[in-house]
Amino acid sequence: MTDESLAVVRVAVVDDHPVVREGTAALLAAQPGIVVTGTAGSLEEARTLLAETDADVVLLDIRLGTASGLTLLSPTVATAGQHRPAVIVLTAYDYPQYAEAALRMGAAGFVLKTAPMTELLSAIRRAAAGGLAFDVRPDAAQRIRLSRRESQVIRLVAEGCSNDEVGTALGIGAKTVETHLARLYERFGIGSRTELATRALREGWLDLPTDVAQF
């Protein structure tokens, strides 16, 4: 057994699905050299957990209810002088744009929930040692680039709003909404509002935090 495998790594698990959260915590707790410091199922619980425990690594689900787990990567989460753990995004979504967002916001890793335990443990060890562990590679050619306004327009279209309703909600004219949509259609090879909304929801365009969407 190597010195690295003997080193104790303290891990916190943040996931809004109780079975996944507790199951992952139990599996990790059974591994040599891993100590689970606690679990959380929401952003609020996660903030409290990180303030009260001294984890080396946090396994973070990208979706926490209706919120984005990536919010926890904000520099404001840790107060001055507070220990800041390495964060590994553990997710079921293998989208390069998610990995890109996680990397840009300071995550140490991005691992799929379908990964074998050996791979997850390796990622935890690497992150704890100050390295990076990305199961899904960030790909600049594939990432979705949206301005804040484009993200707002897509969200409202996905909610079923007409161009007039989108314009009213955002304080812009219907013609401006049409211009935004036309540019989105052309950029992504999309032919209709339904296709735009479907793709955005399927690929998680609207799950990225607003500051990440402003490329």
Helices 163-170 & 174-188, crossing angle to 10 degrees?
110
Cα distances from 150 to residues 144, 168, 207, 215, in angstroms, run 11, 15, 14, 11
* Residue 20 half-sphere exposure toward CB, CA atoms < 13 A: 18
CATH fold of the domain at 148-213: Arc Repressor Mutant, subunit A (1.10.10)
Q: Give the 3-state secondary structure of 129-164.
A: CCCCEECCCCCCCCCCCECHHHHHHHHHHHCCCCHH
Confidence of residue 161 (pLDDT cuts 50, 70, 90): very high
Q: Considering the entire predicted model, what is its pTM?
A: 0.65
167-212 pLDDT, tens digit each: 999 999 999 999 999 999 988 888 888 888 887 877 677 766 554 4
Confidence of residue 87 (pLDDT cuts 50, 70, 90): very high
4-14 pLDDT, tens digit each: 445 899 999 99
Which contacts of 181-190 are long-range, i.e. CB under 8 A and separated by 24 or more positions?
A: 181/153, 181/157, 183/150, 184/150, 184/153, 184/154
Is the domain 3-134 a CATH 3.40.50.2300 member? yes
Question: Per-domain residue ranges for the chain?
Answer: 3-134, 148-213
91-138 pLDDT, tens digit each: 988 877 788 778 878 889 999 999 999 999 999 999 999 888 887 766
**Maximum average pLDDT range among 71-75, 101-105, 137-141:** 101-105
113's CB contacts (< 8 A; 6+ apart) are 20, 90, 91, 92
